[in-house]
Amino acid sequence: MPDITWVNGKMGELATAQVPLLDRGYLFGDGVYEVIRVYRGRPFALSDHLERLERSASGIRLQIPLSRAGLESLILGLIDQAGYSEASAYLQITRGVSTRQHAFPADVKPGMILFVSALVPLGGEQWERGIKVVTLPDDRWAHCHIKSVNLLPNVLAKQRAHEQGAYEAVLVRENGRVSEGSSSNVFLVKDGVLKTPPLDGHILAGVTRKFALAVAQKEAYPVREEEVLLRDLRQADEVFLTSTTMELLPVTLLDEARIGTGVAGPVTRSLYQAFRGVI
Ligand code: PDD
């Protein structure tokens, strides 16, 4: 019998089950999950798993669509139906389906899937000989130069920015170094010199960033790709963001402090005109 699955209330076969393309779990990694071991047809430590699920969901401010009792009966029911003695149950909840935007969409309904798969218990040889491991640096997820769909931290940052009445979050590392926006790159202008953080793995190599640098050079502005500190941003004459969707966008308020004169500055304006010219 093929493995069964439960997807947003519908039963189906695991091999052919589908979730919508616009599900935020797929587009942003915006979801949480649990894997529960089944021994002799019964889930092990189910309440521990459900407690952790609740903590995880609350950590990303996701509403679990069922009560604890509702989840338990769903999981027990599917384990029964699957009929496996030794199995694992996989449960995933995402923020649901909406047009693509980083911040939480209004009125979105969480998505939920559950499936039960047969499991061959480890044993025999692994126990006879033990297993080999290797050590690796724990750099989860420090590879910001990779345009990965693991965007949950960016999603949470954008949401916090929106809740504070801001358009974007500028991300600052523990040492006060500015990296980039949650979905954009950051530039400042000070005394006619343009500065933006370097491509050192802490930021995405934005395509718009590259064009902004090119037009700046063409317009004969001195350009420096070097470390930007939060205090440099605060003391800048102008700050702007770049991205495919924002193009070049002036920043005039940083937290509650005004940047420069509080309106789009002359360098930002001239670079934007030059950028439009390239387009
Ligand atoms: N984001 N940094 C991050 C983390 C981004 O997600 C993006 C773009 C950029 C700017 O890159 P580019 O200039 O190539 O668009 C920088 C896109 C627009 C998004 O996720 O919607």
Q: 207: CA distance to ligand 1 center in Å?
A: 8
| pLDDT (average), residues 21-25 | 98
Q: pLDDT of 90-117, one tens digit each?
A: 999 999 999 999 999 999 999 999 999 9
Q: If you measure from the C-alpha of residue 181 to the centroid of ligand 1, how many angstroms do you get, rounded to a whole number?
A: 8
Q: Whose CA is nearest to atom 3 of ligand 1?
A: 183
158 among known catalytic residues: no
Q: Among 147, 190, 195, 218, which one carries the catalytic annotation?
A: 147
Q: Which of 17-21, 126-130, 142-146, 147-151 has the lowest mean pLDDT?
A: 126-130
Per-residue confidence (pLDDT) for residue 235, from 0 to 100: 97
Q: Which atom of ligand 1 is nearest to the CA of 180?
A: 2
- Measured in Å, residue 74 CA sits from the centre of ligand 1 at 39
The predicted model scores a pTM of 0.94
Predicted pLDDT at 39: 97
Say if residue 174's pLDDT is above 90: no
Nearest CA to ligand 1 atom 19: 183
pLDDT band at 245 (very low <50, low <70, confident <90, very high): very high
Residue 17 in tokens: 């089950």
Assign 178 a pLDDT band (cuts: 50, 70, 90).
very high
- Residue-range domain boundaries for the chain: 4-118, 124-277
Give the tens place of pLDDT for each residue, 218-233.
999 999 999 999 999 9
* Closest to 241 (Cα-Cα) out of 194, 179, 188, 277: 188
- Choose one of 141, 173, 200, 244 to mutate for the ligand 1 pocket test, by most ligand atoms within 8 angstroms of C-beta: 244
Mutate to test the pocket of ligand 1, among 183, 199, 211, 248 (most ligand atoms within 8 A of CB): 183
pLDDT confidence of residue 261: 93
Mean per-residue pLDDT for 122-140? 89
Fold topology of 4-118: D-amino Acid Aminotransferase; Chain A, domain 1 (3.30.470)
pLDDT computed for residue 135 by the predictor: 94
AA letter at 92: Q
CATH architecture assignment, domain 124-277 = Alpha-Beta Barrel (3.20)
Q: Residues enclosing ligand 1, CB less than 6 A?
A: 154, 180, 183-185, 204, 206-209, 242-245
What is the predicted pLDDT for the residue at 127?
A: 86
Here the tokens at position 83 are: 């009929």
